[in-house]
Amino acid sequence: MTIFKKEVPDKYFVGVLFTPHLFKYLSLYVLAKGTDKSKTIRGQMEVWMEDCKKQSPEEVLIHELVRKIIDEWIARKSGLTVVTFANFKKETEYDLMDKGIDKEYIQIILDQLERHEAHKKTRTPQ
């Protein structure tokens, strides 16, 4: 049961700083075309995303993230501070949430991280 419900918006605000030449042209373009900056940028982002998905579908991006997280786990384990896998996994979950990663993706990433750790334990001689 959730005590505090958090509504998931249909749209998210993403702040972007533009260089003067981009801002000037965008302002000129939207006024001339009778549209607005948000619609124009959103349209371009949709095109960009579809192009990117051809080269890097979500599964590939998730795999890349898992690989980076595993590398960080290995580095932390070999460091001077004592860190448990459970604490590292929780920290990773919080970091991903903080970065705005969707809960579904977070669960997939954590499951893959868990499988990697379990597989590694079964392969390590006792």
Q: How is residue 14 annotated by DSSP? A: -
Radius of gyration of the chain (CA): 21
102 in a structural domain? yes
Same domain, yes or no, for 39 and 27?
yes
Q: Which domain holds residue 27?
A: 18-55
Is residue 3 situated within a structural domain?
no
Report the share of the chain in percent with pLDDT over 90.
71
Residues 42 and 69 in one domain: no
Are 90 and 63 within one domain?
A: yes
Asked whether the predicted pLDDT for residue 81 surpasses 60, the reply is: yes
CA 90 to the chain's CA centroid = 16
- The region of weakest confidence among 3-12, 41-50, 78-87, 105-114 is 3-12
> Residue 117: is its pLDDT beyond 60?
yes
Model confidence over 16-75: pLDDT tens digits?
Answer: 999 999 999 999 999 999 999 999 999 999 999 999 999 999 999 999 999 999 999 999
Does residue 88 form part of some domain?
yes
Q: Would you say the C-alpha torsion 73, 75, 78, 80 has a positive or negative sign?
A: negative
Model-level pTM greater than 0.85? no
Would the pLDDT of 1 be above 60? Answer: no
Residue 4 lies in a domain: no
pLDDT bucket at 106, cuts 50 / 70 / 90: very high
CA distance 113 to 50: 27
Is the same domain home to 31 and 45?
yes
The residue-averaged pLDDT of 95-109 equals: 96
* 37 and 97 inside one domain: no
pLDDT at 18: 95
Does one domain contain both 64 and 49? no
Tell me, yes or no, whether 51 and 66 share the same domain: no
**What is the Cα–Cα distance from 22 to 20, expressed in whole angstroms?**
6
Q: How many domains does the chain have?
A: 2
For residues 62 and 41, membership in a common domain is answered with no
